[in-house]
Amino acid sequence: MATEIDTQDKPGGFCRDCLTEQPEGRTRCRACGSPRLLRHKELYGLTLAHIDCDAFYASIEKRDDPSLADKPVIIGGGKRGVVSTACYIARISGVRSAMPMFKALEACPDAVVIKPNMEKYVTVGRQMRAMMQDLTPLVQPLSIDEAFLELAGTERLHRDPPARTLARFAKRVESELGISISVGLSYCKFLAKVASDLQKPRGFSVIGKAEALDFLAPRPVTTIWGVGKAFNASLEADGIRTIKQLQAMAESDLMRRYGVMGQRLYRLSRGIDDRTVHLNEAAKSVSAETTFFDDISSHEQLVPILRSLSEKVSTRLKKHDIAGHTVVLKMKTTDFKSRTRNRRLEDPTQLADRIFRTGLQLMERETDGTKFRLLGIGVTDLEGSSRADPPDLVDQQATRRAQAEAAIDKLRDKFGKGAVETGYTFGGKDRKR
């Protein structure tokens, strides 16, 4: 018995250079000798990552001119007359982003100054984003050089837990783009972002659930998102400097003092952050549509088509582990007029049944004898699936239908797509192109 528990508690660990799994207690890789070992109790259970490039502009310039490799490099000047970024060598002398150029050169007189070439940086940013999308469809860029990634459910695709997939990604960025990144891995956005900053450059830090409170306690309140200079000053005036102090305060007290921000302080200081990773602008909706051979005006004929389109949408959502908050119905009349109708749901959904029933309600108002040539259904306001389709306490039927759908999904997984037809789609196939 005892050995079994031991195995479970054993922290996962591997070498970030060659990805070899490491037994406990080693300080260097047993395969390649690298000291860059990653080990953490929750390593293989965490899925939310924040990735941020190291000295982004400067790294790109160093990549393109190897003679700069060992020199202090400052990207800046230009119109603003301030430092955009400094490489890590220049940072040793105290050069920082947003510093006036003359001050930076006082601190680091032998620095090589390069004017920013935005076009080049944007291209590299795009290339990196495309590579991120090979890891997961759930990539939320925050700026040119950083993004959140949700990797839950990608283990089968990559045949590896997220931590290893991310380490492999860091290697790929170095070899293919010639720049380095830092990774933060945690269970929530707040701590993933904090983590990516801990070991820069070429960092990989993990913050688990179990350690969140202790990790946060000694840190300054400015660690919390949204606590800028002004807010920090008013907290300081109230004698609050560390997160530990916030952890000791009641939610009601914090809210009375600081309003909405008080609630944020309460939650984030305790490592509570349920914001999910949102998709970027490019992939804002998931939908399916079909154009008919012959125009259709009858509600009865449209229903099975709507059902099978809803199932297509749902399959895609489930495949990528995402859900949509708003259902969108699209119809085109024979005179090419488009009608789009939306309904926002209480909770995000990925269920064919919810999409279909909502679409049906929207469609009912449109089927007044008008002839249609196209029908489409989809969802927008996409997010991760973690909050999708909670059991419906009011409508027990809906919960039962959701369970039935899960059972049908399983059968289809096992026996193929055509294995189960619902009453709505049955016989409805030959009407569509």
Q: Which residues lie near ligand DCP (CB under 6 A)?
A: 52-57, 84-85, 97-98, 144-146, 200-201
Q: 145 labelled as ligand-binding?
A: yes
Yes or no: say if 353 and 397 are a contact pair by the CB < 8 Å rule: no
- Burial code (b: 16+ CB inside 10 Å, e: under 16) for 295-308 equals ebeeeeebbbbbbb
Q: How far is the CB of 56 from Mg ion (least distance, A)?
A: 5
Phi, psi (deg, nearest 5) at residue 238: -90, 5
Q: Is 60 near Mg ion (CB under 5 A)?
A: no
383 lies in the binding site for Mg ion (CB under 5 A): no
212: left (phi over 0), alpha (psi -120 to 50) or beta: alpha
Q: Which of the listed partners (Mg ion, ligand DCP, none) does 381 bind, with a CB threshold of 5 to 8 Å by partner kind?
A: none
Please report whether residue 145 would count as binding Mg ion according to CB under 5 A: yes
Rank residues 145 and 321 by Cβ distance to Mg ion and give the closer one.
145
Question: Residues 381-396, buried b or exposed e (16+ Cβ, 10 A)?
Answer: bbbbbeebbeebeeee
- Dihedral of the alpha carbons of 203, 208, 212, 218, in degrees to the nearest 10: -30
Whole-number Å distance between alpha carbons of 249 and 264? 13
Count of beta carbons in the 10 Å neighbourhood of residue 272: 12
Residue 77's binding partner among ligand DCP, Mg ion, none (Cβ under 5 to 8 angstroms by kind) is: none
CB of 285 vs Mg ion, minimal distance in Å: 30
CB 188 within 8 A of CB 275: yes
Query: Smallest gap, in angstroms, from Cβ of residue 333 to Mg ion?
Result: 50
- Residues 146, 150, 311, 383: which is the catalytic one? 146
Burial of 380 (0-12, 13-18, 19+ CB in 10 A): middle
Q: How far is the CB of 277 from ligand DCP (least distance, A)?
A: 19
Residue 98 contacts which entry, Mg ion, ligand DCP, none (Cβ below 5-8 A, type-dependent): ligand DCP
Residue 253 labeled ligand binder: no
Q: How far is the CB of 196 from Mg ion (least distance, A)?
A: 9
3-state secondary structure string across 105-153:
HHHCCCCEEECCCHHHHHHHHHHHHHHHHHHCCCEEEEECCEEEEECCC
**Closest separation in Å from C-beta 139 to ligand DCP:** 17
Which of helix, strand or coil describes residue 277? coil
Q: What gap in Å lies between CA 85 and CA 56, rounded to an integer?
A: 8
107 binds, among Mg ion, ligand DCP, none (CB under 5 to 8 A by kind): none
Task: For residue 124, state whether it binds Mg ion (rule: CB under 5 A).
Answer: no
100 or 259: CB nearest ligand DCP: 100
Q: Which two tokens stand for residue 333?
A: 């009349």
Torsion of CA 137, 131, 165, 183, to 10 degrees: -100
State yes or no: is 421 an active-site residue.
no
Among Mg ion, ligand DCP, none, what does residue 97 contact (CB within 5–8 Å per kind)?
ligand DCP
Q: How far is CA 261 from the centre of its chain?
A: 23
Residue closer to ligand DCP, measured from CB, 52 or 389 = 52
321 is a site residue for Mg ion (CB under 5 A):
no
Cβ burial, residue 277 (10 Å; 0-12/13-18/19+):
buried
Least separation in angstroms between CB 55 and ligand DCP? 4
Please state, in angstroms and rounded to a whole number, the distance separating the CA atoms of residues 422 and 401.
12
- The partner in contact with residue 311, picked from ligand DCP, Mg ion, none with C-beta cut-offs of 5 to 8 angstroms by kind, is none
Residues 18-57 binding Mg ion (CB under 5 A) are 52-53, 56
Q: Which is nearer to ligand DCP, 104 or 254 (CB)?
A: 104
- From the list Mg ion, ligand DCP, none, pick the one residue 84 interacts with, judged by a Cβ distance below 5 to 8 Å according to partner type: ligand DCP
Q: Mark the binding-site residues, compressed into ranges.
A: 52, 145
Catalytically active residues are 146
Q: Mark the binding-site residues for Mg(2+), compressed into ranges.
A: 52, 145
Question: Which residues contribute to the site for Mg ion (CB under 5 A)?
Answer: 52-53, 56, 145
